[in-house]
Structure 1
Amino acid sequence: MSLVELGVLGFVIGLTGALAPGPTLIATIQSAISEGWKSGPKVTCGHIFAELLVVILIAAGIPFLPTGSSLLIAVVGGTALFVFGVLTIQSARGATLSLVSRASGSGSPVVAGLITSISNPYFWIWWFSVGSALLISSLASGLAGLIAFILGHWLSDLSWFTLVSVSIHKSRVLLGDREYKYILYACGAVLMIFGIWFVVSGIFKPV
């Protein structure tokens, strides 16, 4: 893959992870009530700090992978992508951006982004299954490939959480519950497609 393709892949796959309902999304919504649209980028910064540590841990362990492990990585990563796609579609049925709590926290949105990320089991499951497999694959293009992938991934986080904070700040005229569900359905389908592609490309990869 070219660096541009890796960046686009990182963005698309990252968006499916960012969209998943969870504590980081809730932190963004609550912060937007009191701090406006800037809470989205601030929460994203905290989220990136958490992911940077994970990326370093995964990248540091890559040289110690046994030879011939690419097929296993492709099968495990692709299967995880497919499963996350199914779960995303299932979660879309009851997904909502409704403000469950109007109480806005007094803490920093950056800290909220960091804490809600590392305390979320989904975060760790995603990175040590889907994320690690994709990172390893991106390194086939060298360090530049990994950087392109992770920058695309972070851009998706920034885009989504900023859109949410702007939407909340503007009385949700930009994004409603119905639109949110449609986006989740689309992302679930994309995850499933990429999962199948990842497994097939790993199995039929030239030796």
Structure 2
Amino acid sequence: MSLALISISLSSFVIALSGAMMPGPVMTVTVSESVRRGATVGPLMILGHGLLELLLVGALITGLAPLLSRDEVFIAISLVGGVILLWMAVSMFKGLPSLHLCLEDQGKRSRNLILAGILLSIANPYWLLWWATIGLGYIVYSMQFGLIGVAAFFVGHILADLTWYGFISFGIARGRRFFTDSRYRLLVGICASFLVLFSGYFIVSGIERLI
């Protein structure tokens, strides 16, 4: 049981890290605010982001628990989630040559960072798509181990966000020397490779349950 929970947490970390590293509205504000406000920006943004996701996970497991335990739901979500993961990986590989982090200061307006983390997450269509497919698939799988399985998934997920955005803020506050484009592309490429593996696992799990 403990080995399975560790596996859930670690794989959740890698998949969430892959999503967190891609540019988006939360990344943009984290970068621009870190230029002026230092290393606490990333963790505060993720605090808001994480509170929203905790509410979402709670709603999913309490309101949809009977539905999520059905075999046909597991199969459908596993197959769809696996295809979405593969699509993400291919998109990441295709975008590597032109991928870069924009570290310029993009404005002087002060923000409530926790609230910004919540609102920017809601406003991001990718975030909604992720939870409707991959996130839901992971919750379905994790619920086989009860609430502790879901907790293992969520801890791995939120630690990935906190690690990446904390690293972003710290690196910018310390002089930006950590963030060359080549290192960024290498990290994204590694994560994309893991996504291919996880995609195969989701698809195979769905097929096995189907037959």
TM range (shorter): over 0.9
Which sections of structure 2, spanning at least 5 residues, go unmatched?
Answer: none
Counterparts of 2:75 and 2:22, CA distance in 1: 28
Task: State the identity as a percent.
Answer: 32
Q: 1:197 aligned to 2:201?
A: yes
- Paired position in structure 2 for 1:68: 71
Q: 1:168 aligned to 2:141?
A: no
8 A contact 1:31–1:39 mirrored in 2: yes
Q: 1:24 aligned to 2:21?
A: no
Amino acid at match of 2:172: I
Which sections of structure 1, spanning at least 5 residues, go unmatched?
Answer: none
- Paired position in structure 1 for 2:157: 153
Q: Secondary structure at the match of 1:37?
A: coil
- Paired position in structure 2 for 1:47: 49
- Residue 101 of structure 1 deviates from its aligned partner by 4.4
Written as runs of structure 1 = structure 2, the 5 A alignment for 1:1-207 is 2-59=4-61, 60-65=63-68, 67-69=70-72, 70-205=74-209
Count of aligned pairs between the two proteins: 207
Query: What is the CA RMSD across the aligned residues, in angstroms?
Result: 1.8
Counterparts of 1:38 and 1:6, CA distance in 2: 28
Counterparts of 1:191 and 1:129, CA distance in 2: 14
Going from structure 1 to structure 2, the CA distance change for 1:101 and 1:10 (only over 3 Å counts) comes to same
Counterparts of 2:180 and 2:98, CA distance in 1: 13
Would you identify which runs of 4 or more consecutive aligned residues in structure 1 move more than 4 Å?
none
Counterparts of 2:68 and 2:156, CA distance in 1: 25
- Residue 53 of structure 1 deviates from its aligned partner by 2.4
User: What are the Cα deviations for residues 168-190 of structure 1, in whole angstroms up to 9, with x where unaligned?
Assistant: 11121122211111111111121
Counterparts of 2:40 and 2:16, CA distance in 1: 21
Counterparts of 1:177 and 1:127, CA distance in 2: 28
- Residue 204 of structure 1 deviates from its aligned partner by 2.1
8 A contact 1:44–1:161 mirrored in 2: yes
User: What are the Cα deviations for residues 141-198 of structure 1, in whole angstroms up to 9, with x where unaligned?
Assistant: 1110000110110000000000000111112112221111111111112112210111
Q: How does the TM-score come out when normalised to structure 2?
A: 0.91
